[in-house]
Amino acid sequence: MKDLTIELEDRPGALADMGDALGRAGVSIEGGGAWVVGGSGAAHFLVADGAAARAALETAGIRVVREREVLVQRLRQDVPGQLGAITRRIAEAGVNIEVLYSDHDHQLILVVDDLEAGRAVSAAWTRDQAAAPSRRRPDA
């Protein structure tokens, strides 16, 4: 999966133009979001085929600033504090989280400044979570 950093105009229809361009190219958005910051539109969207998405957007005159691989992690919803715990581990490994959002499958998507170190933390997190007992109440 790839995260695309997309520059959008701050005007009605800019996001619709982006969605239309991706739709015409058969590219599905798997997660992400868009914001206006300082009068400029900034978006991060998760796609399976970054090259196809980039081509479709650039053909439509929409600037793709960056395309990056992501970390994908599932948090245990039955355990409070999961976000703080995983992001603390990432920080303690010296990895900076630059973008965080969730996908349509309720997974945490992280764009980090050191992908290899982030992958190591993510893999250890997954192992630890698989070994931990569920905290869900039996009657829930």
28 in helix, strand or coil?
coil
pLDDT (tens, 9 = 90+) of the chain, 140 residues, equals 999 999 999 999 999 999 999 999 999 999 999 999 888 999 999 999 999 999 999 999 999 999 999 999 999 888 899 999 999 999 999 999 999 999 999 999 999 999 999 999 999 999 998 888 766 545 44
Identify the CATH number of the domain in which residue 102 sits: 3.30.70
| Rounded Cα–Cα distance for residues 113 and 117 (Å) | 9
- Asked if residue 83 is part of any domain, the answer here is yes
Q: Are residues 85 and 63 in the same domain?
A: no
132 in helix, strand or coil?
coil
Quote the longest CA-to-CA distance of the chain: 54
Confidence (pTM): 0.88
Q: Are residues 46 and 102 in the same domain?
A: no
User: Which structural domain, as residue segments, surrounds residue 82?
Assistant: 71-131
